[in-house]
Amino acid sequence: MGFDTIIVNGTVVTATDTYVADVAISGGKIVAIGQHVPQLNAGKIIDATGKYVFPGGIDAHTHLDMPFGGTTSADDFETGTTAAAFGGTTTIVDFAIQYKGQDLRTAFDSWMKKADGKAVADYAFHCIMTDVPAARLDEMNELVRDGVTSFKLFMAYPGVFMLDDATIFKVLQRTSKNGAMVCMHAENGGAIDVIVQQMLAEGKTAPKYHALSRPTTFEAEAVSRAIALAEIAGAPLYIVHLSCDDALQKVREGRDRGLPVYAETCPQYLYLSLENMDAPGFEGAKYVFTPPLREKWNQEKLWEGLKHDHLQVVSTDHCPFCFKEQKEMGKGDFTKIPNGGPGIEHRFSLIYSGGPAAGRFNVNRFVEIVSTTPAKLFGLYPRKGTIAIGSDADIVVFDPKREHIISAATHHMRVDYSMFEGIRVTGMPDIVLSRGKVIVENDKFTGRAGAGEFIKRATYAGL
């Protein structure tokens, strides 16, 4: 009996180690790592000489097939996980939304249906809570037992998603007992809405005003308030899509005091800025999402935050809406532009390019940011997030020299524009495996819809 597949002579990179080795796979798992692993009877040999062998990427923040503002995000679980795979991401954690009046189980079931038979690689869910009478708190424990071990709350979008501080505090108290993690959208939604209404009354309706109505101070204030609530509740806290230095400083202060506070940023905040909102005509709508793009100087602060572990994760907040017909719903009123942008395909290459390739941090830190830390924080480790014996064979054979220019003309996301159009990246995935099966090779998709499985996650265990 030989191995199903052996990846030979690649440079294996984990969050801690870098070494040349062969990686042998059987039954979808990594079963041997060594030098000169016997190739006799192996089903498939992949030569990774001169390439990196990375653990598959984990994108902890995606919105596939998500209703928003009278439309639905353009990628479903098939097109979204396929595009993710092309970019080196083999596990996503998406969001099941509990709407007002619903129980949590209904939310979970309806998102399980959206993914079933469609996802090409593995997936898990956070649960968004928008309506929390006492009964919902007990239901959180049931979801945790079923592997949904994180809950997203909003401090923004009053009347739609926003919860008040008392409710947020109750949820945090519950997670401090049941081992779940709260993921927080931190912006002061009430105050933002005052500015939004004033802008509309003044005839300021262009896409750019979406960004100008949401100052960094209101993000920082909400981050600080969320940390205070979590501290007193004794719960860990994960800030999603942190966009600016003001908010980063609040996370850093909390972490410096030893609190279990974590934060992710996204490629759009590292590569794009308020200047993109000045695109001609209505084009600024392509960059309408929350938090909004910030002044350019914030980018380097966020990269430094990643380097020094003030920020722990990069996720995409992938929430694609086509420019035609979807983004265009907000012509003449920026509040009607569906909020979100596409990015699930480009996280690996953008962070590799701006990180190790640019000399900002090394390949081990890169793996930590895009795979290992999200796996650990969200209960997927060590099944996902590393190259180790017994782990799922979710593996990216990555060519650090290959260059690529990002464009809507060549991407695989089902959306008619790219936020990163024209950006040149260095480093691209060559071969991507999901549980031992090659799903992308030589720019061709070789996987299958429905091959992805729901992953029951463990509770938070610290880093």
Which CB sits closer to Zn ion, 3 or 161?
Answer: 161
Matching residue, tokens 């798992």: 29
Which CB sits closer to Zn ion, 55 or 320?
Answer: 320
Name the minimum Å distance from CB 137 to Zn ion. Answer: 23
Name the minimum Å distance from CB 163 to Zn ion. Answer: 16
Name the minimum Å distance from CB 61 to Zn ion. Answer: 6
For residue 51, the SS3 value is: coil
Report the sign of the C-alpha dihedral through residues 386, 392, 393, 395, in that order: negative
Which residues in 400-459 contact Zn ion (CB under 5 A)?
none
Matching residue, tokens 């003001």: 246
Which CB sits closer to Zn ion, 341 or 355?
Answer: 341
Name the minimum Å distance from CB 66 to Zn ion. Answer: 9
Name the minimum Å distance from CB 271 to Zn ion. Answer: 18
In sequence order, what DSSP letters do the residues of 291-359 get, joined into one string? S----TTHHHHHHHHHHTTSS-EE---B----TTTTGGGGTT-GGGSPP-B--TTTHHHHHHHHTTTTT
For residue 434, the SS3 value is: strand
Give residue number: closest CB to Zn ion. Answer: 317
Which CB sits closer to Zn ion, 54 or 161?
Answer: 161
Name the minimum Å distance from CB 365 to Zn ion. Answer: 24
Which CB sits closer to Zn ion, 317 or 430?
Answer: 317
DSSP annotation of 370 reads I
Using alpha carbons, select from 392, 384, 402, 407 the residue that is nearest to residue 442. 402
Within 10 A of 389 (CB to CB), how many other CB atoms are there? 13
Amino acid, single-letter form, for residue 86: F
Beta carbons within 8 Å of 388's beta carbon, 6+ residues apart: 14, 30, 33, 382
Which CB sits closer to Zn ion, 319 or 440?
Answer: 319
Task: Say how many CA atoms lie within 13 Å of 56 toward its Cβ.
Answer: 36
Name the minimum Å distance from CB 94 to Zn ion. Answer: 10
Which CB sits closer to Zn ion, 161 or 460?
Answer: 161
Beta carbons within 8 Å of 138's beta carbon, 6+ residues apart: none
Total residue count of the chain as it appears in this document: 463
Is the separation of the CB atoms in 242 and 294 below 8 Å? no
Name the minimum Å distance from CB 2 to Zn ion. Answer: 44
Which CB sits closer to Zn ion, 294 or 437?
Answer: 294
Count of residues interacting with Zn ion (CB under 5 A) = 1
b/e code 66-100 from CB counts within 10 Å (16+ = b): bebbeebbbbbbbbbbbbbbbbbbbbbbbbbbbee
Residues 303-322 vs Zn ion: string with x where CB under 5 A?
--------------x-----
Which CB sits closer to Zn ion, 236 or 291?
Answer: 291
Name the minimum Å distance from CB 290 to Zn ion. Answer: 8
Q: Which residues bind Zn ion (CB under 5 A)?
A: 317
